[in-house]
Structure 1
């Protein structure tokens, strides 16, 4: 049966053959319009993305879906209904950074998680937008600002709720501002992993990362630091055949519904990467990582099997059967209710009549807040109910009336115990709080996962179908409020509230996090109850050391810092997987060609920039600027002790001469010509390097991998070797592939027909002959090409690793600084230090015995 097209957000009944959650919300991200993008998905008037299942992208995903499920990166799913029990990793005390991009509702669940992790003895840093510093600090957690304005992000999402921005947004330049903001947040997330506390200046280096997917930096930070990463989110983000991606609408298609559901995730992820891939790759280069290809970037989390925890109630959305064991559904995250003393005016309002309804839209920023508040007040008047209205980020406020009370910030945990129903935007945290208190809920979604939760509420009977904010009227809102006040809605909400106490969301999420940590690599060899941060390597000796153990041994002259390097706890290799030689070579060729084209443009544009710079007017010769003055500096902080400079003070003679020298150099035609020549040579060098890398390394490597993967097409799993990370592993990979390719290629000519005849007789023998011929025609070429391509690929990895040495040194330096601080703060006794030294010497003796 074909998948119907689902559009719109009107509170209408869905077709009988479509699940009630099938209507999907709009997206976090966008892409620049182009032919392939428009074919795969298009923006509708209501801000939705209609995924065209007949597009080339969708059809390509359909063809490889079976291969993906059998691929080593995506094994056949196994379902574990319960999260594993307590993990031994609980005894390790870690530095954990939690990276969050989003609104207050996105941050709040992680406040609950961070507080629980802190109670377990971990040091927890919340890395999010600057405006949430008080929200985080008041919870007793460390805070690191990553930049970005959530209010601006929310306003952008409301105006552009689909993946492709409106033309007005393009004209206004908001896309560039959003990309600039994302670049700032990526860098902020990176700094949050190894910078000192911005307030106390206490050193901090992350041992593990927890993040929500929209932060986007998570996997890349983990790769650069070789530490574990764990994703947590409030909406489905992992491919499944159970239901479509919550951000996609599906056109009618001949594609089977389960396959269409799975394909929708690939299309949405692909479109998202088109909008942010360039920004992410530029940032990756800045932290010592090579760019990720457009074929791997969209599906990194699934390809790498990054552990994922979903924080929603399994009573509402059970874990799909095809999600593997590294994905858990744990229940909603609830924080400890904050201390709150309500104002007397609020208490008096609550006591003056029947329980009111709550209306608030949290961090949503709308363009016409007056229209929204007018709609809300008219709807309240139509129902005759009393109401508490939260101003939120849209600053909703109106004329005071006896039946309406306006509030600013008030904890939902307290407030929702005192209301008859809630009307809100559908944020996961607000939805969870309403359900926990057994309160009927009406949702007016704007973007993201909000329509998803609206349909979950409607399916449970605890509220009406979600109302589109674009077509909201007083009559529609009044009808939704009246639905919430019915006994049936109250009963349905109460049933959900009865089930939720058994779901320990935060504790289950902690156990999920612990159970996926690589414990064997994380333990210190000398102090097994501490997490390892260093590898001590001298001769054949190589083992992990914690910060305290390493610093103590360095202080006692038992080891030297030159023999230590950062521990690689969770090494991440991102490989560009290939499916066949044709598409592999084509993709590598296009990639090489695009980089060569970019280098050619630099050969022309960069010299032009130098020319323009040289022709820039010398403003020092203008009459009104003949008297030069020193610019006023920013006032230093009050604790610096640096005297404030006087404004318009005369500069020193040396500074004046230096300035004149620089200006004369700019006017010198020879200097300008030299700069232009240097820019041209730089672009030519990049062009040449790109050409030779593409011809000698990338294209042969893609061809070898493409030939090696062909047997997948007829159900044979290619042999897997250790990932290529340097010249040595490249040589080993090439050698083994050569031996196996030649051997298997020739033996397949005989074994495959025999095997086929034994299983299916004559027809099987014919199939076996075809498989054997195809195997010979692909495995032998892969062996020949790979004998050269794989070692050369390994050499490029070694070169890239050498170029990233600066980043590794920065990480090592930060860890050494953190180790010194931790050791000093522990104030170890003489006996403690002797114990560490004694254990270290015993480890050395054991190593010597094993090596002997």
Structure 2
């Protein structure tokens, strides 16, 4: 059984029936190279390098100021390579981002509200009081708003300058949730970066998990803890994410696949902590990197005279502060801090933080407001804080002994890492904190041994350049050749057009130049995807696969009936929230509303800002709500047809195809079904190889196993061969119908649900026009580009060029 504690971490009883059953879905054996001890520390700073392709990069971040700040440093470094950087995060950080010289896009959400909610309800499963208050619904609505904001950040113009922007790649932290889905809708690369472990490993448990009753099987328990946390998170937000996916015309993701998308798709991951503190586990694949903490340049700061006087008046003080944590009882916390300072006999600087701690300042107390930690911490004897990754990094970098007082989430993880290195005592949770316990921890901090341990970590970190290493990681994992424009190599491809016998990848700028000379080509342009993402349901075997498909179809049909009532309510609420967000974005810049062209030609109304449009939107919301009820019941017949002719046959076919994996046999990858053509191609390959492998396996499998294990191996091999004969040939025969049907369904869906695609096309076209207006080409440059275009069109292109000369 798994349940939640009050520190935001999941308490997992490894011997419970639920967890043991859950573990059957994941490997439990530990590979020979699994990490039993940390690898030797060997960190090399990547050499300075240039980068050819200049990309539009959107960085999506959800969290507090401490979560946003490292990505500002990353964005500034990426700008040096010629990329255009947009940081999409909460509205309140607009000035913080823009002052750093980056573009900002508001995604909504209130980090202060989220932080207060986490302090009051730190567990993944909130209290009954919270559920009764309606707070859960408000937070889920906030997540829905942020998902929509993240999508807007990929395709909408800048809210300040109105300059068009369509993302060529996405960088995101996992709590932004929209990353993979936005990348799928656009067909572009996505790269995750985070300050805490989020990828399953046997080296240590998930930072949000407390394991009990492990009985020595720690490696398997650690690995399982990641899947439990991911699964529980998806339970709370999966329906919100799927509703939003539907709004951008993506198909829903099922219960088992949702939590594991990043692993299934092998999404590159960069972890932003020092390997001197937490080395990369040996069981992480090559597409996961640990690069070092992200540090910005030390900001210029001139202290107030009274702060300078306080620092000069005695020995270095101890910093005590909890940053963006919104305390439930600030007065009680302050009293505890003051008592501890008095008992330990130290001087202290107390940060007011978001909870506005403050009171009468004695001789040994100074209350400080907003002050850069980069400037302040080197002047401290020790630091006491909540354990945010950024605050932790700043203290450790400067060799400052650290006490973490964790409130929730990954904060205990960092506290334990510091304690295991000897740079501070074990974490002191606020619920266990008294004046005496805090004073004891402070005395531990000011020991010479603690200072020496902290300095040892800092010395090992001196060679690290986390931001540069992260940029190198990001560039290294990009599909460079797939992204390059064939005509202008330093620009990313956004369109594809057929010229002669070859398809040519073209950037937004190249399309404007070429079509200015040959306008007829514009009708042949197709949106290009440099990194197509296909998400298909995982099928373990034909029985469970078929049963799950039948159940899903039944639920869809039930939803069509109940949707006559529920869909109008949902659609009306969504339209109202969308309008409220549009008004908020419009009012963001200097209190003035900013108009953005209404792209009705693309089938999507981005936002409106006038009172007339607001009234029109009110009427439109009512009309769309009524239409939603009608659509719900009309969809009954198509969903039933799709379930019987596509979903259920595909589930059985894929279950048969993947079944051999359960008894150790290889499973062929015959490609993905993306449309009619690929459907027939996959069907042909599956049938051919299914028959070949299935029939030959009756002979080959006994021979292979017999060589390994003798007579008993022959029997085992014969069993595998007969099983393969049934599953592989069965997949081939079922696939002859299932794959083409799935391909036809996908092609029909692509033709019918074209609003998102048309929106992307319209926005890419708008950006291309804007680029052409701001970058004039001479006649000779245009002629050279046309000549290159014709040369790429193979013989047909060269013949066309010859006729033009004649």
What is the TM-score of this pair, normalised by structure 2?
0.88
**Quick one: distance in 1 between partners of 2:631 and 2:191?**
41
Cα deviations by residue, 1:781-826 (Å, 9 ceiling, x for unpaired)? 2222221112112222222222332111111111111112222222
Q: Report the counterpart of residue 841 of structure 1 in structure 2.
A: 790
CA contact under 8 A between 2:279 and 2:290: conserved in structure 1?
A: yes
Cα deviations by residue, 1:656-706 (Å, 9 ceiling, x for unpaired)? xx99xx9xxx9xxxxx9xx99x88764443233322222222122111111
**Quick one: distance in 2 between partners of 1:518 and 1:79?**
31
**Quick one: distance in 2 between partners of 1:249 and 1:802?**
48
Cα deviations by residue, 1:714-755 (Å, 9 ceiling, x for unpaired)? 211111111111122112212221222223222222332233
Asked if 1:175 corresponds to 2:136, the answer is: yes
**Quick one: distance in 1 between partners of 2:473 and 2:278?**
18
Q: Report the counterpart of residue 19 of structure 1 in structure 2.
A: none
**Quick one: distance in 2 between partners of 1:537 and 1:373?**
69
CA contact under 8 A between 1:93 and 1:530: conserved in structure 2?
A: yes
Q: Report the counterpart of residue 146 of structure 1 in structure 2.
A: 107
**Quick one: distance in 1 between partners of 2:452 and 2:668?**
57
Given candidates 69, 75, 92, the residue that maps to 2:53 is: 92
CA contact under 8 A between 1:84 and 1:515: conserved in structure 2?
A: no
Asked if 1:736 corresponds to 2:697, the answer is: no
Asked if 1:234 corresponds to 2:195, the answer is: yes
**Quick one: distance in 2 between partners of 1:86 and 1:226?**
30
CA contact under 8 A between 1:244 and 1:260: conserved in structure 2?
A: yes
CA contact under 8 A between 1:435 and 1:497: conserved in structure 2?
A: yes
Q: Report the counterpart of residue 643 of structure 1 in structure 2.
A: none
Q: Which moved more, 1:110-119 or 1:48-57?
A: 48-57
Q: Report the counterpart of residue 492 of structure 1 in structure 2.
A: 453
Q: Which moved more, 1:130-139 or 1:732-741?
A: 732-741
Name the SS of the counterpart of 2:140 in structure 1. helix
Q: Report the counterpart of residue 211 of structure 1 in structure 2.
A: 172
1:597 Cα deviation from its structure 2 partner: 2.1
Name the SS of the counterpart of 1:192 in structure 2. helix
Asked if 1:377 corresponds to 2:338, the answer is: yes
Q: Report the counterpart of residue 302 of structure 1 in structure 2.
A: 263
1:637 Cα deviation from its structure 2 partner: 4.8
Given candidates 520, 523, 532, the residue that maps to 2:484 is: 523
Cα deviations by residue, 1:253-295 (Å, 9 ceiling, x for unpaired)? 4583211111111111011001110000111111121111111
CA contact under 8 A between 2:406 and 2:412: conserved in structure 1?
A: yes
Alignment of 1:235-250 (within 5 A): 235-250=196-211
Cα deviations by residue, 1:167-189 (Å, 9 ceiling, x for unpaired)? 11101111100100000000000
1:850 Cα deviation from its structure 2 partner: 12
**Quick one: distance in 2 between partners of 1:88 and 1:846?**
38
Q: Report the counterpart of residue 669 of structure 1 in structure 2.
A: none
1:69 Cα deviation from its structure 2 partner: 10
Q: Report the counterpart of residue 429 of structure 1 in structure 2.
A: 390
Q: Report the counterpart of residue 811 of structure 1 in structure 2.
A: 760
> Relative to structure 1, is the Cα distance of residues 422 and 201 closer, same or farther in structure 2, using a 3 angstrom cutoff?
same
> Relative to structure 1, is the Cα distance of residues 542 and 639 closer, same or farther in structure 2, using a 3 angstrom cutoff?
closer
1:534 Cα deviation from its structure 2 partner: 1.6
**Quick one: distance in 2 between partners of 1:609 and 1:520?**
43
CA contact under 8 A between 1:435 and 1:493: conserved in structure 2?
A: yes
1:707 Cα deviation from its structure 2 partner: 1.3
Given candidates 742, 747, 750, the residue that maps to 2:696 is: 747
CA contact under 8 A between 2:159 and 2:594: conserved in structure 1?
A: no
Asked if 1:777 corresponds to 2:726, the answer is: yes
**Quick one: distance in 1 between partners of 2:238 and 2:348?**
45
Name the SS of the counterpart of 1:396 in structure 2. coil
RMSD across aligned C-alpha pairs, in angstroms?
3.0
CA contact under 8 A between 1:532 and 1:547: conserved in structure 2?
A: yes
Cα deviations by residue, 1:615-647 (Å, 9 ceiling, x for unpaired)? xxxxxxxxxxxxxxxxxxx9995899xxxxxxx
Asked if 1:788 corresponds to 2:749, the answer is: no
**Quick one: distance in 2 between partners of 1:836 and 1:82?**
44
CA contact under 8 A between 1:83 and 1:512: conserved in structure 2?
A: no
Q: Report the counterpart of residue 189 of structure 1 in structure 2.
A: 150
**Quick one: distance in 2 between partners of 1:445 and 1:317?**
18
Q: Report the counterpart of residue 565 of structure 1 in structure 2.
A: 526
**Quick one: distance in 1 between partners of 2:644 and 2:667?**
25
CA contact under 8 A between 1:96 and 1:209: conserved in structure 2?
A: yes
Asked if 1:460 corresponds to 2:421, the answer is: yes
1:521 Cα deviation from its structure 2 partner: 0.9
**Quick one: distance in 2 between partners of 1:565 and 1:79?**
50
> Relative to structure 1, is the Cα distance of residues 683 and 188 closer, same or farther in structure 2, using a 3 angstrom cutoff?
closer
**Quick one: distance in 2 between partners of 1:472 and 1:478?**
10
**Quick one: distance in 2 between partners of 1:219 and 1:254?**
37
1:376 Cα deviation from its structure 2 partner: 1.2
**Quick one: distance in 1 between partners of 2:83 and 2:526?**
23
1:839 Cα deviation from its structure 2 partner: 2.4
CA contact under 8 A between 2:41 and 2:275: conserved in structure 1?
A: no
Asked if 1:277 corresponds to 2:226, the answer is: no
Given candidates 591, 599, 606, the residue that maps to 2:560 is: 599
**Quick one: distance in 2 between partners of 1:737 and 1:391?**
65
1:593 Cα deviation from its structure 2 partner: 2.0
> Relative to structure 1, is the Cα distance of residues 82 and 559 closer, same or farther in structure 2, using a 3 angstrom cutoff?
farther
CA contact under 8 A between 2:30 and 2:219: conserved in structure 1?
A: no
Asked if 1:763 corresponds to 2:712, the answer is: yes
**Quick one: distance in 1 between partners of 2:558 and 2:538?**
24
Q: Report the counterpart of residue 35 of structure 2 in structure 1.
A: none
Alignment of 1:810-829 (within 5 A): 810-829=759-778
Asked if 1:546 corresponds to 2:507, the answer is: yes
> Relative to structure 1, is the Cα distance of residues 274 and 609 closer, same or farther in structure 2, using a 3 angstrom cutoff?
closer
1:603 Cα deviation from its structure 2 partner: 4.5
Q: Report the counterpart of residue 52 of structure 1 in structure 2.
A: 13
Name the SS of the counterpart of 2:154 in structure 1. coil
CA contact under 8 A between 2:61 and 2:67: conserved in structure 1?
A: yes
CA contact under 8 A between 2:197 and 2:207: conserved in structure 1?
A: yes
CA contact under 8 A between 1:526 and 1:549: conserved in structure 2?
A: yes
Given candidates 634, 639, 659, the residue that maps to 1:690 is: 639
Name the SS of the counterpart of 1:42 in structure 2. strand
CA contact under 8 A between 1:79 and 1:322: conserved in structure 2?
A: no
**Quick one: distance in 2 between partners of 1:835 and 1:751?**
59
CA contact under 8 A between 2:515 and 2:522: conserved in structure 1?
A: yes
Name the SS of the counterpart of 2:137 in structure 1. helix
Alignment of 1:310-389 (within 5 A): 310-389=271-350
Given candidates 260, 268, 273, the residue that maps to 2:229 is: 268
> Relative to structure 1, is the Cα distance of residues 485 and 525 closer, same or farther in structure 2, using a 3 angstrom cutoff?
same
* Residue ranges of structure 2 left out of the alignment (5+ in a row): 32-38, 572-586, 596-611, 801-806
Name the SS of the counterpart of 1:542 in structure 2. strand
**Quick one: distance in 1 between partners of 2:42 and 2:752?**
45
> Relative to structure 1, is the Cα distance of residues 238 and 545 closer, same or farther in structure 2, using a 3 angstrom cutoff?
same
> Relative to structure 1, is the Cα distance of residues 609 and 370 closer, same or farther in structure 2, using a 3 angstrom cutoff?
closer
Name the SS of the counterpart of 1:502 in structure 2. coil
Q: Report the counterpart of residue 109 of structure 1 in structure 2.
A: 70
CA contact under 8 A between 1:270 and 1:298: conserved in structure 2?
A: yes
* Residue ranges of structure 1 left out of the alignment (5+ in a row): 1-38, 71-77, 611-633, 641-654, 667-671
> Relative to structure 1, is the Cα distance of residues 214 and 68 closer, same or farther in structure 2, using a 3 angstrom cutoff?
farther
CA contact under 8 A between 1:96 and 1:124: conserved in structure 2?
A: yes
What is the TM-score of this pair, normalised by structure 1?
0.84
CA contact under 8 A between 1:83 and 1:328: conserved in structure 2?
A: no
**Quick one: distance in 2 between partners of 1:638 and 1:122?**
28
CA contact under 8 A between 1:94 and 1:208: conserved in structure 2?
A: yes
**Quick one: distance in 2 between partners of 1:576 and 1:737?**
18
Name the SS of the counterpart of 2:700 in structure 1. helix
The alignment of Structure 1 onto Structure 2 pairs a total of residues equal to 754
